[in-house]
Structure formats: structure tokens, C-alpha cells
Structure 1
């Protein structure tokens, strides 16, 4: 048998678990939400994974690619690759940003070029 205080604690724990599960269910997305994670690397022309999408070929390591629209955000989910982004159009600008193999960021400035790199 449970004492009255144990019943209250049990009910509170059940309510907490239920609230957590409700929070995990899919709901309607708003403009501030990122796209769902998917394997690969993606550059976006807008913040929070919005705008035009550029798919990065993570197998094309070391090749410089110039973007038609600046990248403002990036999302990477890979077991082997990452992305080095540059503020200049020729991958030689000193202003650069490196992702990890699991990244989701709004970039500190607009990026004009990138290279696929091995994950470290």
C-alpha cells in the first residue's frame, strides 16, 4: 500500500513523464525551427536553415566551391566529414568557420565559399 505522500509523489512523477512525452511529439513548425536533421551537409542562404539550400558533397574533400548565394547557416550530420566555410569567394579568406561532423549553426558572417574536409 502507498501512503498519501507516496501517492502524491507518484502522481507528480507520472505527470512529469506525460508532459515530457507530449513535448516530444511532433507539432506544427514555425519559421524559427530548423529543418529536420538528415544525413549529409547543407548550407542555407537564410538563418536557422531557411532559404536556398546547397547540398555539400562530403566525398569531394579539398575542392573549393563558390556559392551563388552566401551561406548564413549550416547543418551537418556525418560520421566522416565536415565543412570549412570562407568569407571570400576563393577559399583563401582569413575569415573562416569550421564545422564538426555534427553541427547546426547560424554562421557569424556570410560565407561565399567552402570545402569539404575530414571530420576531426
Structure 2
């Protein structure tokens, strides 16, 4: 049976989105589990959403904030904002990493500063 390319693309996109959301649904809690997904953006000083929590104001776009403790993990659930994180203080270090508007993950390295950015 022949399936048109647009239908295949739509089906593939739906499968990818379903797989992404399955990883965000809270299940049985264990010590390694993330905190429940909630609207907003949160930086954590420990892996898997543990440690000290910093709440990111996604409406304060472009303002640089230096953290008291390095961020090691991040969780963002927003329809409009994302977070750009920097390895150095003052958002001036060339090494940066940006989230999407829906993410929950450990960061590739410790981050010392951040700013809210519009979601792409």
C-alpha cells in the first residue's frame, strides 16, 4: 500500500512527540527521579533535579543572572520561554548552552550564569 510522504512525516512527528512526552510523565518515585513537571523554568544544583532550586523568571528576557551554586540540571515547561546557560559568571563566557521550551535534563557541564530567552 502506498502512503503519501506528508502523511508519513506527520506520523513520524507524532511518534517522536509521543516518545518525548512519555519521558516527562511522572511514574513511581525513586531517589533518582525528577521532581514533578510543572510550568516554568528551574535550575538545580544537583543531577536529576536535586539540590538547591533556582526559579528562572522567563518574563525577564535577556537579563543575566549569576548563580550562587553552579547549575547541574534544568527543567523547563513553557510555551514561550527557554533558558540560555553559561559556563562562566556574568553570561560573558563563550561556552553557552540553550534549552528548548520543554526540557528536563542534566547539563553537559556545571553552569554559573543564565538568562531567559524567547523559545525558538
- The count of corresponding residues between Structure 1 and Structure 2 is 96
String of CA shifts for 1:58-108, please: whole Å, max 9, x gaps.
000000000000000000000000000000001011111100000111001
1:35 corresponding residue in structure 2: 35
Which residue matches 1:103? 103
Structure 1 ranges of 4+ moved more than 3 A: 24-27
TM-score, normalization: structure 1? 0.77
1:43-82 equivalences under 5 Å are 43-82=43-82
Shift in Å, 1:26: 5.0
In 1, the alpha carbon distance for the partners of 2:88 and 2:26 equals 41
Give the CA RMSD over aligned residues: 1.4
Q: Any gaps of 5 or more consecutive residues in structure 1? A: 1-23
Task: Measure the CA separation in 1 of the matches of 2:102 and 2:69.
Answer: 23
User: Does the residue aligned with 1:90 lie in a helix, a strand or coil?
Assistant: helix
Per-residue deviation, residues 10-34 of structure 1 (Å, max 9, x unmatched): xxxxxxxxxxxxxx8953x111101
- 8 Å contact kept, 2:86–2:114: yes
Q: 2 CA distance for matches of 1:35 and 1:26?
A: 11
Which of these two proteins has the greater Rg computed from alpha carbons?
A: 1
